[in-house]
């Protein structure tokens, strides 16, 4: 068993309306020092694989096929155990 942690973020050139809304809400609450907010996804995957190199290859394929929309999103991942 090993665990993969995947981070999916919007590309810098893509507008982030969710982040914009959160920034506005933080300002309303008095957190005026917040200059920008970008929101992404964080995923933890438990994999039934012992081979770390194979796990990396498979997680990359998962990101390309399903977990990230590579037109507007970047992804990175770490294999944290195994």
Positions that interact with a second copy (CB under 8 A) = 1, 7-9, 19, 22, 25-26, 29, 31, 33-49, 58, 61-62, 65-67
CB of residue 71 to a second copy, shortest distance in Å: 18
Name the nearest CA neighbour of 48 among 15, 16, 19, 82.
Answer: 82
CA dihedral 67, 69, 73, 79 (to 10 degrees): 20
The pair of structure tokens assigned to 37 is 């907010």
Cβ distance to a second copy smaller for residue 15 or 66: 66
Cβ distance to a second copy smaller for residue 25 or 72: 25
CB of residue 65 to a second copy, shortest distance in Å: 6
Name the nearest CA neighbour of 10 among 24, 1, 20.
Answer: 20
CB of residue 69 to a second copy, shortest distance in Å: 14
């Amino acid at each position: 068993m090993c665990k993969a942690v995947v981070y999916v973020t919007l590309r810098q050139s893509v507008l982030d309306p969710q982040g914009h809304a959160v920034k506005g809400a933080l300002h309303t609450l008095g957190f005026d020092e917040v200059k920008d907010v970008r929101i992404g996804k964080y995923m933890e995957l438990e994999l039934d694989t012992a081979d770390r190199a194979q796990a990396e290859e498979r997680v990359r394929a998962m990101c390309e096929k399903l977990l990230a929309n590579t037109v507007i999103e970047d992804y990175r991942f770490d294999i944290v155990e195994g």
